[in-house]
Amino acid sequence: MKTKLISFTTTVATLCILASGVTAATTDARKTIVFASPQWAPYVFQNGKGTTQGVYIDILNEIFAKNLQLPVTYIEYPWKRAQIAVKEGLADLIITVATPDRLQYAVRSDSPVLEMYLHVFTYTGNPRLSEIESITSGEDILKMGLIPVTNLGNVWHKNHIDHLGVATRYVPSEENAFLFLAAQRADITIEPLIAGSYLIKQLDLADRITLTKARFGPLTFHLLLSKKSSHLKRMGEINQVIKSLHQSGRMQRIYERYQHDVQ
């Protein structure tokens, strides 16, 4: 499938740079900051009008377009390819957990741009609901003999749940996981609250899926700027803007708007 390129005030020069494979570090012509990510509603997604929006897009526009006068370009890549693009300097940034491996090729923002809890969902009417709501760890899932379902690309689940010996069912996407759970073919799925609530609403599963009290986290998601980015010298400014957005409450209002939209 041909990679989609969705741009906000993207210039012809930027498109040429991306197409030619010139790195962010080797050109002064890049007048936007390039964000690489797969679609993951409601963090990054296309609305019915063909425009890309989401929590990440709003946050990045606040940081760069409004405060640093640097327009944001979004390039849609599968997750592994997005990370490679930042590593090689073909994109400027990703938003994710700052692992040691990622910090070899990117610089982390001082403050996280997002803190995310992973919530446990089950199917409505599950007779083990009270047990499920007592979950505090992967060990609890193993001891209870519960069967989770998740998508194939869920590295967090593999590292924190599967490594314990939990018998997880894997499906192609988060949408498939909720449909699988609604059909009572698994006991639980673990997803961020906003993302899970959004999918439940989109799939019309509100009467078939139950949000439990159990959760994991929080996970802290940072802005990771490529060490090859031509914008790396502005990292100090970026950190100041992120700090200001947290202090003013603007960052929290972005989260709350999307949370309200899915409830």
Query: In 54-88, which positions are buried (b, 16+ CB within 10 angstroms) versus exposed (e)?
Result: bbbbbbbbbbbbebbebbbbbbbbeeeebbebbbe
Position 37 confidence tier, pLDDT thresholds 50, 70, 90: very high
Provide the β-strand partners of residue 122.
Answer: 188, 210
What's the mean pLDDT when you consider all of the chain?
A: 89
Please report the pLDDT score of residue 2 as a whole number: 40
pLDDT at 22 over 50: no
The pLDDT of residue 6 is above 70: no
Show the domains of the chain with their CATH numbers. 5-114+220-262 (3.40.190.10), 117-218 (3.40.190.10)
pLDDT confidence bin for 263, thresholds 50/70/90: low
- Selected residue with higher pLDDT from 263 and 182: 182
Q: Mean per-residue pLDDT for 223-229?
A: 98
Report the percent of the chain where pLDDT is more than 70.
87
- From 135-139, 155-159, 257-261, the region with the lowest mean pLDDT: 257-261
> Is 18 a residue whose pLDDT tops 80?
no
Contact of 25 with 89, CB cutoff 8 Å: yes
Across the range 51-73, mean pLDDT stands at 96
Average pLDDT over residues 198-221: 96
Phi, psi at 28, each rounded to 5°? -100, 0
pLDDT band at 12 (very low <50, low <70, confident <90, very high): very low
Q: Specify burial of residue 193 (Cβ count, 10 A radius: 0-12, 13-18, 19+).
A: middle
**N-term to C-term CA, the chain:** 33
Statement: the pTM of the whole predicted model exceeds 0.85: no
Mean pLDDT calculated for residue range 129-149: 98
- What the block records as the tokens of 239 is 């950190």
- Spatial distance between the Cα atoms of 197 and 206, rounded to a whole number of angstroms: 9
